[in-house]
Amino acid sequence: MTEQTSIYIAGFCPLLLHGLEFMLKQEQFNFEKKIVSDALAIIEPSKNKFLLLFHLRKNFAGNRKSVECFLKRYPLSRIIVLSENCKQTHIKAFFKLGIRGYVLPTIGDMRLKQAIYEVLSGKSFLDPSISKKWIDMTFHNAKPNAKLTRREEEVLDLIIDEYTTKEIGQKLFISSCTAETHRINIIRKLGVRNTAGVVREAMRMGR
């Protein structure tokens, strides 16, 4: 990097922030660092080309909206998301919005440096640990009888997002009875006993 790169840091808890600051100071980045609690409110409107390290907590819908609004306001910015969420559909949704990198908070310094360099050079970066989880879950943990229909897949995603049977029916424009039937079929196909088991098995399978 020959030109100065502005690196903004948002949403980090104190422990993660301390480690990140130490790593950035040790590395010879030519950067301007600002720690912000609300990136949209603090980043100057004139700044469009920069890197944002964005730590996202739970609440997928809220996080997705924040990232979407941010990229609309700063279309030339590059975002690396740090999140504990390994759900494949959620990560794909973030990349579809336009983020450039996605890593776990447990990523080591060397990998995070690699992510920063690759994103700043115009590439995308996915934490190798996430890729490995997906591969392991796909080839070693998936149950042979867990073939769900498209509608059951939709219901499963809503169950994972903590929708009730009634809310699932309203969301998918089906009756509560039909939604409950799908839920029962999912429980049977995944070989579990209840909704909690469905969520646990779905996460184990990389959803």
How is the chain split among helix, strand and coil, in percent rounded to 5?
A: 55, 15, 35
pLDDT at residue 162, as a whole number: 87
- Which CATH number fits the domain that encloses residue 101? 3.40.50.2300
Q: What is the pTM of this model?
A: 0.60
pLDDT digits (tens, 9 = 90+) for 129-171: 887 777 665 545 545 556 899 999 999 999 998 899 999 999 9
Range of the domain at 80: 5-135
Place of tokens 């924040």: 66
Does the structure show a pLDDT above 90 at 102? yes
Q: Which residues contact 41 (CB under 8 A, 6 or more apart)?
A: none
Q: 129 with 63, same domain?
A: yes
Does the structure show a pLDDT above 60 at 3? no
- Identify the domain boundary among 135, 158, 188: 135
Q: 53 with 121, same domain?
A: yes
Q: 187 with 117, same domain?
A: no
Q: DSSP 3-state assignment of 87?
A: coil
Q: 101 with 12, same domain?
A: yes
Q: 87 with 182, same domain?
A: no
Higher pLDDT, 23 or 201: 201
- Identify the domain boundary among 112, 135, 158: 135
Q: 178 with 91, same domain?
A: no
